[in-house]
Chain A
Amino acid sequence: AQSVTQLGSHVSVSEGALVLLRCNYSSSVPPYLFWYVQYPNQGLQLLLKYTSAATLVKGINGFEAEFKKSETSFHLTKPSAHMSDAAEYFCAVSDGSSASKIIFGSGTRLSIRP
């Protein structure tokens, strides 16, 4: 069985500061890992995904995440936060098959202080 744990339901950072959103996964097979962002009253938008290639994955809007098998982690980072980054962020895991189910974490709400 696969699962995802997001540490911290709410993270607040100052504009220009480093963003770090934590995600740990559990999977019995090599996982595919995803980060999605959800703005208010909108659906989920894919930020980036890991599919067993490079362990450092770059996504949209300046975000990146690093797959660390030894730590079973896939933390999301951005060097400098912008006000427009305020949103809900979801980490997710799947087994990577063509019609695979994605298991989502409970989400982390990111707030940006001026």
Chain B
Amino acid sequence: EAGVAQSPRYKIIEKRQSVAFWCNPISGHATLYWYQQILGQGPKLLIQFQNNGVVDDSQLPKDRFSAERLKGVDSTLKIQPAKLEDSAVYLCASSSLDSTQYFGPGTRLTVL
């Protein structure tokens, strides 16, 4: 069974630029999560999808972050414009009915 796929693995941009990350969850997993992991901290949930609907986006900075999962499968997370404090690893995870979350390798974003 293929795991959660993410791309790109690394991205370096300058502040005020925009960036997008892509995630393809494990086949059949209805729930998809995006996390932000700042160096030295645990992952923090940004947004959770159930199929193509948003379940929880309470911690998503909506003035600059957006996410979509249009067909209920893969998802994109966008930051526009980026700030220095957005430098972090962005993790995607998916889960099925047993609620166990499986994580992708993450995208390391550096904002200069």
Query: Could you tell me which A residues sit within 8 Å of B by CB distance?
Result: 9, 32, 34, 36, 41-46, 49, 90, 92, 94, 96-102, 104-107
Contacts and interface: CB of A to CB of B under 8 A. Distances in A.
A71 B72 CA distance: 41
Interface residues of B, number: 28
Contact of B41 (A46, A49, A99, A106): A106
A104 B104 contact: no
Nearest to A6: B42
Contacts of B97: 98
Given A44-B91, A99-B55, A104 B99 contact: no
A32 B91 CA distance: 21
Contact of A44 (B31, B43, B48, B98): B43
B43 A104 contact: yes
A99 B4 contact: no
